[in-house]
């Protein structure tokens, strides 16, 4: 899945969830990043490098699997496929938004 496709998927996920109130960055190990600015209404999802309260480091494949509901964020974390920098509380909130594929 391309960075653009992943960005569109995260954008769709953000649109169906309550306002996040934080800025989160998905730092993709295989290149690129997706920034979820949940302080804006509607949320702004882009590929910018701006500051984030929490950074999630993972592969594009792992993010795609999470968005499909084939990999839970908690399991990815336990398996070392997901690393968290910053606020654990925000990471748990994002995990709830991504878990279950919807």
Per-residue pLDDT tens digits for 35-57: 999 999 899 999 988 899 999 99
Q: State the total domains in the chain.
A: 1
Tokens of 43: 């949320």
Per-residue pLDDT tens digits for 48-96: 888 999 999 999 999 999 999 999 999 999 999 999 999 989 998 998 8
With a cut of 60, say whether residue 101 has pLDDT above it.
Answer: no
Chain centre distance of CA 95:
8
| pLDDT of the residue at 96 | 85
- For residue 43, the enclosing domain spans 3-101
The three-state secondary structure class of 72 is coil
24: nearest Cα among 47, 49, 54, 48: 54
Report the CATH number at residue 76: 3.30.1050.10
| pLDDT of the residue at 82 | 95
């Amino acid at each position: 899945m391309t960075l653009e496709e992943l960005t569109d998927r995260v954008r769709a996920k953000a649109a169906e969830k309550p306002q996040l109130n934080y800025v989160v960055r998905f730092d993709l190990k295989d290149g690129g990043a997706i920034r979820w600015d949940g302080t804006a209404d509607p949320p702004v999802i882009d590929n910018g490098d701006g500051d984030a309260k929490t950074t999630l480091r993972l592969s594009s494949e792992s993010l795609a699997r999470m968005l499909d509901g084939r990999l839970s964020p908690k399991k990815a974390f336990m398996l070392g496929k997901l690393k968290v920098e910053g606020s654990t509380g925000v990471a748990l909130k994002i995990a709830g938004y991504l878990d279950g594929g919807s």
